[in-house]
Chain A
Amino acid sequence: MDEKHLEDHFNEKIDQDVRIEPKDWMPDHYRKTLIRQISQHAHSEIVGMLPEANWISRAPTLRRKAAALAKVQDEAGHGLYLYSACETLGVDRDTLLDQLHTGKAKYSSIFNYPTLTWADMGAIGWLVDGAAIMNQVPLCRASYGPYARAMIRVCKEESFHQRQGFEIMLTLCKGSDEQQKMAQDALNRWWWPALMMFGPTDADSPHTEQSMRWGIKRFTNDELRQKFVDVSKPQADLLGIKIPDPDLKWNEARGHYDFGEINWDEFYNVIKGNGPCNKQRIDARTKAWEEGAWVREAASAYAEKKTKQQAA
């Protein structure tokens, strides 16, 4: 079949919501976009382990410690599912990790912010995981089979993350004055970065149209951001803490909350590498990978020896 014919067939499948599978023909641009999108997501999961892993040793109760460990471990699992999905597109994990370590690949910029108090564990679970879920649930229907299947696993596991985060916030908000202050302070610091997680405005997001056409993006950035604001405001009210946005108010005509302008300078600065923790995060990942090299080599060498012994 010629290229034109193959492409028509591909588009037909997309239109009929038939999943694309690894060995199916796909346009090169589709493959590249998917690799970029899935690997960015995978990188976000494993870089995202770091700010929370910070607090595992300091979790205030054993129950919280177990939940924190399980949660950060899930993120490792999610990274792994997504790297695996990416490998079906013909690029191996080592290559992807190399792109992360050398700064060629991006990851969600929210993880370049520091976790300063225990309340940040609550705010991350509630807001960051909340925003992530909003982004991810539609991707369970992504057009690429392995990606969609990975996202189904991710979303299934992710639901406990947001709940545990909200529970932490709730406990703090019902607690002492200091704890309430801690919760408010965390909301103040995480709110705007959480809104930025949905990416640039639709007007500044040139790839959205193509990605939606391909079924690897199901809603626009602004649609998802609005949805997030709409569900978060009543939750903040329930907690009794205040979202740090003087322009946030209900718009009866739109049936949505209006909200203030995002500081896009900050957004692009953090993406460019100037966030508070960009360097620490990449350094930590690179260090783990480089210091693990001898471990991986040892296991390979051992496996090879054993195979030879069995053959002999």
Chain B
Amino acid sequence: MNQNLFNYTLQQADNCLILGQRLGEWCGHGPVLEQDIAMTNIALDLIGQARMLYQYAAEIQDEKRSEDDLAYLRDAWDFKNVLLVEQPNGDFAKTILRQFLFDSFNCPFYEKLKESSDERLAAIAAKSHKETLYHLKWSGDWVLRLGDGTEESHNRIQNALNELWPYSEEITTPSEADIDANKNGFGVNLNDIKSERETKIREVLNEATLTIPDSAYNHTGGKEGKHTEYLGYILADLQFLQRAYPGNEW
């Protein structure tokens, strides 16, 4: 099996699953019915992306494993998602900002991944890229509305930014899998999207009258399986049935 291709695919699959899981927590509790529906749509897109990637990763592993084995039967240290996506929903402002920081990566990432030498990854990227264009528009618009809305919304999203900013850069910081994937032609050169992403983020935050925190410190570790405490709880929830009733069909 191609371990690097497997790790690389899994890394993105885990990002999508964990953020999809987080967004799904909003379902039924959104600030207005129309946005409840919008958030669920994005959650569904992310779960869909995760499924395509897990299915591919399972095939690469070549051990009669399924998408669900990968999602439900690994423990935290095997998950390769970035720390950003496991951060709690908080208020709507925090959810929006987390989403925007992720979408500003996810969208250009898939755009580049369309050129992957690996046909499956390229195909998954082509489908997903269209979805993320909409996600980025949605979350970017909301950053503007909240940042430049009322004093309260401005303060809330500024707080969210202060809190999440140290988790922003991990996603464009290459892991071993990223470096190898790029070297072998099937992965994205993260340096290519890093500056594009930063420009986009600064542009939107600026228009939203938000102040980027001074702190240059960045948390990392997610891509190597070193997570925050949150992930354990996410997995306890996500995996409960598969763990409580091993081997059953659902």
Contact = CB atoms under 8 A, between A and B. Distances in A.
Interface of A: 46, 49-50, 53, 56-66, 69-70, 72-73, 76-77, 79-80, 83, 118, 168, 171-172, 174-176, 178-179, 284, 287-289, 291-299, 301-302, 305
B250 A56 contact: no
A62 to B, nearest CB: 5
A284 B29 CA distance: 7
A302 B238 contact: no
A288 B47 contact: no
A83 B43 contact: no
A80 B245 contact: no
Given A72-B28, A302-B148, A175 B248 contact: yes
Contacts of B21: 57
28 contacts: A53-B28, A56-B25, A56-B27, A57-B24, A59-B241, A60-B248, A69-B47, A70-B44, A72-B40, A73-B36, A73-B37, A76-B33, A76-B36, A76-B37, A80-B33, A83-B33, A171-B250, A172-B250, A175-B249, A178-B245, A179-B245, A288-B30, A292-B30, A294-B150, A295-B146, A297-B153, A298-B146, A305-B148
A131 B91 CA distance: 36
Interface string B116-152: 0000000000000000000000000000111011101
Chain A: interface secondary structure? Answer: helix
Contact of B238 (A57, A76, A79): A57
Contact of A57 (B25, B31, B71, B250): B25
Range class of the B interface residue count: 35 or more
Nearest to A290: B31
Given A65-B24, A288-B31, A302 B92 contact: no
Contacts of A79: 33
A294 to B, nearest CB: 5
Given A80-B33, A298-B152, A299-B149, 10 more contacts: A56-B25, A57-B21, A57-B238, A59-B241, A69-B27, A76-B40, A176-B248, A284-B29, A298-B153, A305-B148
A80 B250 contact: no
B28 A302 contact: no
B158 to A, nearest CB: 13
B150 A62 contact: no
A62 B50 contact: yes
Nearest to A168: B250
Contact of A61 (B34, B144, B250): B250
A62 B241 CA distance: 12
B174 interface: no
Interface in B40-83: 40-41, 43-44, 47-48, 50-51, 54, 67-68, 71-72
